């Protein structure tokens, strides 16, 4: 039952787009769809890695700014009572 073949309905323009996405003459629509799903997963992984990298860079920058202002904050506390 797991690998049962089913049918789906597509508009003619979607079918034509799938046809245009075939990389080999004998590719099935299923081959095209699977490739699209795989490509999408790869792109999601790349985006996730880029976001993590950017967050780390922002964190490093923010930490640097906080450290730069740390001494200023200590100096200000000498002259101002909060």
Neighbouring residues of 32: CB distance < 8 A, sequence distance ≥ 6: 18, 21, 22
Threshold 0.75, pTM exceeds: no
As a whole number of angstroms, the longest Cα–Cα distance in the chain is 80
In a domain, 17, yes or no: no
Domain range for residue 48? Answer: 26-79
In a domain, 11, yes or no: no
Quote the tokens at residue 13: 């323009």
Within 1-82, strands assigned E span none
CA torsion, ordered 59, 62, 63, 64, to nearest 10 deg: 120
Q: What is the pLDDT of residues 7-20, one digit of tens each?
A: 999 999 999 999 99
In a domain, 66, yes or no: yes
Number of domains in the chain: 1
Residue 35 contacts residue 20 (beta carbons within 8 Å) = no
Q: What is the pLDDT of residues 20-49, one digit of tens each?
A: 999 999 999 999 999 999 999 999 999 999
């Amino acid at each position: 039952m797991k690998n049962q073949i089913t049918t789906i309905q597509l508009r003619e323009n979607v079918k034509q787009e799938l046809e245009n996405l075939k990389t080999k003459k004998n590719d099935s629509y299923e081959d095209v769809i699977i490739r699209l799903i795989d490509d999408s997963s790869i792109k999601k992984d790349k985006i996730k890695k880029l976001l993590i990298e950017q967050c780390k860079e922002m964190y490093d920058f923010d930490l640097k700014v906080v450290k730069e202002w740390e001494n200023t904050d200590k100096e200000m506390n000498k002259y101002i009572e909060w």
